[in-house]
């Protein structure tokens, strides 16, 4: 239940996202961010706020560990909408966390995947991908490279 303890603290974040999250041929755009994360419930919860200064918005993630199911639910919200998106759910195995959930994007039903990997004391990687066909194929559309400040 302490899988996200590594995230507590302040991080500089190098972002790359596709200009169209559903088009694997769309261009990548790069921009900076700063993330501040805290741990709660003895490691069973994690919260972070991320600011994207060149984009004019911020986001937050709430992560909650279900002790009975031994899995995490990750909830994202953006200051652009003020809404809590449906969770992605999953767990860590071998230093890699994979989380999946159903959502919509641009009016289309998607399956979302978040992956945490490359976790050290000073760095981590987060990736997002969307699938329009129930997970048969994926469009990688957002990557964050985190460096501890």
pLDDT of residue 1: 84
What does the block give as tokens for 139?
Answer: 């469009």
pLDDT in tens, the chain (149 residues): 899 999 999 999 999 999 999 999 999 999 999 999 999 999 999 999 999 999 999 999 999 999 999 999 999 999 999 999 999 999 999 999 999 999 999 999 999 999 999 999 999 999 999 999 999 999 999 999 999 99
Distances (CA, A) of 128 to 22, 39, 89, 114: 11, 22, 13, 5
Domain 5-20+28-148 CATH assignment equals 3.40.50.2300: no
pLDDT of residue 109: 97
DSSP string, 6-47: GG-EEEEEEEEEESSTT-TTSPEEEEEEEEEEEEEGGGTEEE
Residue extents of the structural domains in the chain: 5-20+28-148
pLDDT of residue 71: 97
């Amino acid at each position: 239940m302490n899988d996200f303890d590594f995230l507590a603290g302040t991080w500089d974040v190098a972002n790359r996202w596709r200009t169209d999250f559903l088009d694997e041929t769309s261009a990548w755009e790069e921009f900076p961010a700063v993330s501040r994360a805290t741990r709660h419930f003895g490691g069973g919860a994690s919260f972070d706020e991320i600011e994207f200064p060149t984009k004019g918005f911020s986001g937050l993630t709430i992560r909650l560990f279900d002790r009975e199911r031994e899995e995490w639910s990750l909830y994202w919200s953006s200051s652009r909408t003020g809404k809590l998106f449906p969770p992605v759910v999953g767990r860590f195995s071998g230093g890699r966390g994979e989380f999946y959930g159903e959502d919509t994007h641009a009016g289309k039903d998607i399956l979302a995947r978040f992956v945490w990997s490359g976790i050290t004391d000073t760095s981590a990687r987060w990736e997002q991908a969307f699938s329009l066909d129930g997970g048969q194929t994926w469009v990688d559309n957002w990557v964050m490279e985190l460096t501890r400040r």
